[in-house]
Amino acid sequence: MADTRTETSINKCSLCFITLTCIVEEQFANSIMHDQNLTFKVQLYRLPMRHRKIVPEEPPSQPLASTLIDLLVEFIMCHLLKKFPGELYELCVGVLLRLLSYQKRCRVRLSRDWRPLWAALIALLKFLVTNESTLLRRHNIFTMAQQVVNIFNLFITFGDTFLPTPASYDQLYYELIRMHQVFDNLFYMALRYSTGDGEFKAEALRLANCLVNVRAIIQHFSPKIEVWLASQNLSTPTEDQILEVVRKNYDSLILKLQEGLEAYERYTERTHRPLLSKLVRAASGAARLRSDAAALRDHSAALLNHYTTIA
């Protein structure tokens, strides 16, 4: 999944995500991947990047579902490029949604740090906003952004059913407040396109509407944090201090109940038939070439043996 530079590698990566999609839609496969008693050490490939050093380390022993989330985080963070593989990101986010839907439905609590996932999703939203004019020529970024925001809505609305501890829920709110500028910019972008007459008007309006709870959290807690900072004569609070303010002000927060956040369209071959047909043709063509090459080698060997015998 690290290499998406050529059409062939993109097609192979798509097939990987399609396979994962089928797996995470299967109830029995999900139950195995989320079984806390079945843990595995899986070494994931880390793409070398300028802003991080790859330090060899032994992978943690954890359920396969947690390793899969690590893989999705790695993919999201390592392909925010000018040649943005939007179709692959849609498949990636779809796999994540199916995992979280199972956890919410079955009340499975993975013992993991969820902050890297939230950071990766926020980084994706920031990338979409920053490069909107370039990306809109090739991708409907409003649909993708809505999928990401609804994953945050799933955490906000139902996180108490699958997050491991109340502290994880507090950390979610902390990340939303800390990175409020990204969500503000996303909302203003959606608002700008939803009030015009462009082709993305309907999608932009849906994106603006699905941000209602994220914006409610930011607008509710930000003033209270500022008041607390003023009362304490502080300008740079610690994470623990912010979390304490958040915990004390949950009761007065009003959120809108959103339904259908975990819903998704089940996999159908029809959606991916062009890609699958292309892969089958490429595989059969490669097999034919190998067969022809083997036949040519056998023929050459026979001729060589024949002339050697004559000589």
In the predicted structure, residue 159 carries a pLDDT above the cut 80: yes
Q: Which tens digit of pLDDT belongs to each residue from 246-281? A: 999 999 999 998 888 988 889 888 878 888 888 888
Cα(132)–Cα(168) distance, rounded to whole angstroms? 32
- Contact criterion met (CB below 8 Å) for 145 and 128: yes
Residue type for 9, please? S
Question: What average pLDDT does the segment 116-123 reach?
Answer: 97
The share of the chain scoring above pLDDT 90, in percent, equals 65
Backbone angles phi, psi at 26, to 5 degrees: -90, 120
In the predicted structure, residue 156 carries a pLDDT above the cut 60: yes
Q: Which tens digit of pLDDT belongs to each residue from 34-74? A: 999 999 999 998 877 776 676 778 889 999 999 999 999 99
* Confidence at 288, pLDDT banded by 50, 70, 90: confident
Domain boundaries, the chain: 7-257
In the predicted structure, residue 308 carries a pLDDT above the cut 80: no
Question: What average pLDDT does the segment 118-122 reach?
Answer: 97
Neighbours of 170 (CB within 10 A): 18
Q: What pLDDT does 146 receive?
A: 96
Rounded to whole angstroms, the maximal C-alpha distance in the chain is: 104
Average model confidence (pLDDT) across the chain = 90
In the predicted structure, residue 304 carries a pLDDT above the cut 70: no
* Confidence at 292, pLDDT banded by 50, 70, 90: low
Q: Which tens digit of pLDDT belongs to each residue from 69-115? A: 999 999 999 999 888 999 999 999 999 999 999 999 999 999 999 99
The share of the chain scoring above pLDDT 70, in percent, equals 92
Q: Could you tell me which residue, 310 or 107, shows the higher pLDDT?
A: 107
Backbone angles phi, psi at 38, to 5 degrees: -110, 95
In the predicted structure, residue 206 carries a pLDDT above the cut 60: yes
Q: What pLDDT does 297 receive?
A: 78
Q: Could you tell me which residue, 208 or 195, shows the higher pLDDT?
A: 208
Question: What average pLDDT does the segment 134-158 reach?
Answer: 94
DSSP codes, 104-154: HHHT----S--HHHHHHHHHHHHHHHHTHHHHTTT--HHHHHHHHHHHHHH
> What three-state secondary structure class fits 244?
helix
Question: What average pLDDT does the segment 202-221 reach?
Answer: 95
